[in-house]
Structure 1
């Protein structure tokens, strides 16, 4: 049986409690207790603050995910031209989808990332970039430009943001088991759900850019 050190136990407890109850709703003392630490200052010793703890969780989960995305982008680049758009959509979504298949112990990264998106006080994007965890997404961005040079960089970047958030939040809702209650749509089969999510990702990044104007305000 795997023997975990104190830091790993604290990280797993923090991830589990944060995804279940919300990042701001869990005290550091509760995490310490959940991890079975008798020393009340154990978490403070290892991480010193909630922000440092969140950064450590990102450092724990992101490197393998970014590495996998880089692998999938390379597969996209080496594949036939007619498959590039689909393979690019897979490079965006599959690293996140694959975390859903890890069960012993479970990987709760997508749920945690969805929680982080809701947290105004944590500068996730800046930290993500400073640690180099966006290498895979930067390579995705390059392939986007190759596939659709006629679309402005701003629109391509927004589409990458849209699709990443769509995948994270959709998978987090699936993992929470709330979609049947909230939508009444059958989502039991993860394979069907994930395939459909990749279809949607492909449709967004491959869509034509059509000029749009908001209606004049009537106020």
Structure 2
């Protein structure tokens, strides 16, 4: 669980990541990347410097959160029918809380929360001593999807890079609907990168 930042930032090299012109892979290819995962099945794992992904047990274990010195919590399974902790549950820990009432259903549109969740994670990391714990019920689908979106939006990663980075440290498995939504985000961000690069090349 405790790895240094250099190890956590290591990305796997492959034809998908080393191609000079990146194109978003098909859903089938993205699924195959997840099948090759080599992460852990702990209650909580650090998947990026100061970003932890975990399950409901870890979310309810105040001792665990204190030992990790968590300052922010993003609950991707908020609400009475999910992991209904809420900000009051952590009032004695001085933790900043953000809840998203999402369901691990391929038909659920989690993409509407991508940017808000990514901005919350970035805010946590930018705060003094900030450490953010992102969780859902199992810590493999909803929470993982939001962390992947953060890495794509704010760390300028492709979806392939993000998947490889996170799955190196934790076994994750976004459902097909979420993976498709991440793929759409990847296509959008890739097009934006291409336009930025083209503008920089041609100049004003």
Question: Normalising by structure 2, what TM-score?
Answer: 0.30
Q: Which has the higher helix share?
A: 1
Higher relative CO (Cα under 8 Å, sequence separation at least 6) belongs to 2
Q: Which has the higher strand share?
A: 2
Question: Normalising by structure 1, what TM-score?
Answer: 0.29
